[in-house]
Amino acid sequence: MKIAIITDETEGNAVGMGTYILNLTENILKTDRENEYFLIHRKKEEHRIYSMANEIIIPYNPKFPFSTIRNFITLPKELRKHNFDIIHHPTNIGPFAFKSVWPTKKGKCIQTIHDLIPLLFKNTHEKAVRMAFEHILPRVARNCDKIITVSQASKRDIISRLKVSANKISVIYEAASDIYKPQKRSNPLLKYGANGEYILFVGALEPKKNLTTLIKAYSMLRNKDHKLVLCGKKGWYYKDILGEIMKHGIERDVIFTGYVPLEEMPAMYSNASVFCFPSLYEGFGLPVLEAMKCGVPVIASNTGSIPEIAGNAAIFTDPNDPKELSEKIDETITSKKLKETLKRKGIEQASKFSWKKTAKETIKAYQETTK
Residues 76 and 200 both lie in one domain: no
Q: What is the pLDDT of residue 223?
A: 81
Flag whether pLDDT at 65 surpasses 60: no
> Does residue 47 belong to any structural domain of this protein?
yes
Residues 143 and 206 both lie in one domain: no
**Beta carbons of 350 and 296 less than 8 angstroms apart:** no
Residues 112-129, mean pLDDT to the nearest whole number: 91
Comparing 55-69, 129-143, 213-227, the range with the smallest average pLDDT is 55-69
Sort strands 198-202 and 169-171 into parallel, antiparallel or unpaired. unpaired
CATH code where residue 262 lies: 3.40.50.2000
What gap in Å lies between CA 85 and CA 210, rounded to an integer? 41
Residues 298 and 326 both lie in one domain: yes
Residues 301 and 256 both lie in one domain: yes
> Does residue 68 belong to any structural domain of this protein?
yes
> Does residue 181 belong to any structural domain of this protein?
no
What is the distance, to the nearest Å, from the Cα of residue 87 to the centroid of all Cα atoms in its chain?
21
Flag whether pLDDT at 66 surpasses 80: no
pLDDT per position as a tens digit, 313-346: 999 999 999 999 999 999 999 999 999 999 999 9
**Beta carbons of 370 and 3 less than 8 angstroms apart:** no
The residue length of the chain stands at: 371
> Does residue 314 belong to any structural domain of this protein?
yes
Query: What is the count of structural domains for the chain?
Result: 2
pLDDT per position as a tens digit, 25-40: 999 999 999 999 999 9
Residues 147 and 264 both lie in one domain: no
Residues 155 and 284 both lie in one domain: no
pLDDT per position as a tens digit, 294-311: 999 999 999 999 999 999
Q: List all residues 6 or more positions away from 120 whose beta carbon is below 8 Å from its beta carbon.
A: 157, 161, 281
Residues 227-251, mean pLDDT to the nearest whole number: 91
* Residue 277, SS3 per DSSP: strand
Q: What is the domain extent for residue 14?
A: 2-175+354-369
Residues 324 and 364 both lie in one domain: no
What gap in Å lies between CA 193 and CA 289, rounded to an integer? 28
* Residue 193, SS3 per DSSP: coil
Query: What b-and-e string marks burial along 225-263, b requiring 16 or more CB atoms within 10 Å of the CB?
Result: ebbbbbbbbbbebbeebeebbeeeebeebbbbbeebeee
Q: What is the pLDDT of residue 297?
A: 98
What gap in Å lies between CA 153 and CA 158, rounded to an integer? 9
Residues 162 and 229 both lie in one domain: no
Q: What is the pLDDT of residue 62?
A: 65
Sort strands 108-112 and 274-277 into parallel, antiparallel or unpaired. unpaired
What gap in Å lies between CA 31 and CA 28, rounded to an integer? 5
Q: How many helices (H) and strands (E) does the chain have?
A: 15, 13
Residues 125 and 220 both lie in one domain: no
Q: What is the pLDDT of residue 181?
A: 95
* Residue 356, SS3 per DSSP: helix
What gap in Å lies between CA 193 and CA 185, rounded to an integer? 16
Residues 144 and 234 both lie in one domain: no
Q: What is the DSSP letter of 330?
A: H
Q: What global pTM score does this model have?
A: 0.93
> Does residue 180 belong to any structural domain of this protein?
no
Residues 214 and 108 both lie in one domain: no
Q: How far is CA 74 from CA 42, 48, 67, in A?
A: 11, 26, 10
Q: What is the pLDDT of residue 184?
A: 77
> Which segment, 41-50, 140-149, 182-191, is predicted with the most confidence on average?
140-149
Residues 211 and 318 both lie in one domain: yes
Residue 13 — φ and ψ, nearest 5°?
A: -80, 90
Flag whether pLDDT at 113 surpasses 70: yes
